[in-house]
Amino acid sequence: MNAADLNTKFAIDGRVCVVEGPGGLPMIDITTDKAQARISLYAGQVLSFKPTGQSTDLMFLSDTAYYAPGKAIKGGAPICWPWFGPDPEGKGRPGHGFVRNRPWNLLATEELSDGRIQVHVGLHDTQETRAIWDQAFELELCVTISETLDVALITRNTGTTAFALSQALHTYLAVGDIAKAQVIGLDGTTYIDKMDGGVEKVQHGPVKIDGETDRIYTGVSGMLQVEDAALSRCITITPRGSASAVVWNPWAATAASMGDLGDDDYKIMLCVESTNAGPDIIDVAAGGEHSLGVTYALSQL
């Protein structure tokens, strides 16, 4: 469906509108009394969330992001599924799976009695996805907009055999200055340092970024906070259905090598990802489901 057809079926007057976004991709714009948000129907990806009164978006979105079929959008909350990182079977399939660079379907929109807006998008297996990953599935993203942003990624196994998956909500958070930002809540946690050959290390104190960083923290199920001194704000991240988290920043050289990321963008972004990654693998029984969720809240320091 094009944007006009989707509006006929799913628009909510003054609250939800489908527009033609960059590259002609359909975008869902949400407005409530408490916040504004944008979801790309391509990739099923939240691109923006800004509570009323906030001058800076919760999320970082690259000014040079690609908006084209087959390309991932750099920023917001890309979905890595049904694997996180390289192809786990070494078959040459794309890193981070195959759902972050294909169209999703708009399933439903709803204004709840308390003024929250919910948007449901999803996709399911096709002959094309079966050629990549031979499993029957339904995947749904439920996004709830209020003074907080809640995202739930629900995997349903519609086949007759169990399957295993790893996954991530690969969220790019906007920060005022990476040198003045830190992640609280991981002290004492073991992490896999992908910048050091996968060696396991233990975090001591807050996570501070002073170089290229790519870490899978294991045994993580509690709340995390990003303290952003430059913007005088705190981002609280409350995950569900996961036991791992990823912290990533490309730093200068890698950022400069990416065509869809500005050379200095590493200074104003930090990925803190709610994941099932590393040893945190999820088994979904035939007929079963798993939900990976996260709630983001903004407050002032």
> Which pLDDT value is given to residue 242?
97
Mean pLDDT, the chain, integer: 97
> Which pLDDT value is given to residue 155?
98
Measured from the Cβ of residue 156, the count of other Cβ atoms closer than 10 Å reads 18
> Which pLDDT value is given to residue 128?
96
**What is the number of domains present in the chain?**
1
DSSP letter for each residue of 206-244: SEE-SS-EEEEEES--S-EEEEEGGGTEEEEEEEES-SE
CATH of residue 277? 2.70.98.10
As given in the structure block, the two tokens for residue 120 are: 């449901």
Number of separate helices (H) and strands (E) present in the chain: 3, 23
Average confidence (pLDDT) over 12-18 = 96
DSSP letter for each residue of 37-103: EEEETBTTEEEEEEETT-SS-SB-B-TT---STT---SBSB-EEBS-SSS-TT-S-PPTTBSSTTSB
Q: Which of 167, 160, 104 is nearest to 137 (CA)?
A: 160
Q: pLDDT tens-digit profile of 26-40?
A: 999 999 999 999 999
Residues 263 and 256: their CA atoms lie apart, in Å, by: 4
Active site positions, annotated = 170, 273
Bond preceding residue 82 cis, omega within 30 of 0: yes
Q: pLDDT tens-digit profile of 43-96?
A: 999 999 999 989 899 999 999 999 999 999 999 999 999 999 999 999 999 999
User: How does residue 221 score in pLDDT terms, banded at 50, 70 and 90?
Assistant: confident
Torsion of CA 240, 90, 75, 51, to 10 degrees: -10
Residues 16 and 31: their CA atoms lie apart, in Å, by: 7
Question: Which domain, by its residues, includes 134?
Answer: 3-300
Residues 13 and 281: their CA atoms lie apart, in Å, by: 42
> Which pLDDT value is given to residue 1?
75
Cβ–Cβ under 8 Å, residues 153 and 129: no
Q: pLDDT tens-digit profile of 98-152?
A: 999 999 999 999 999 999 999 999 999 999 999 999 999 999 999 999 999 999 9
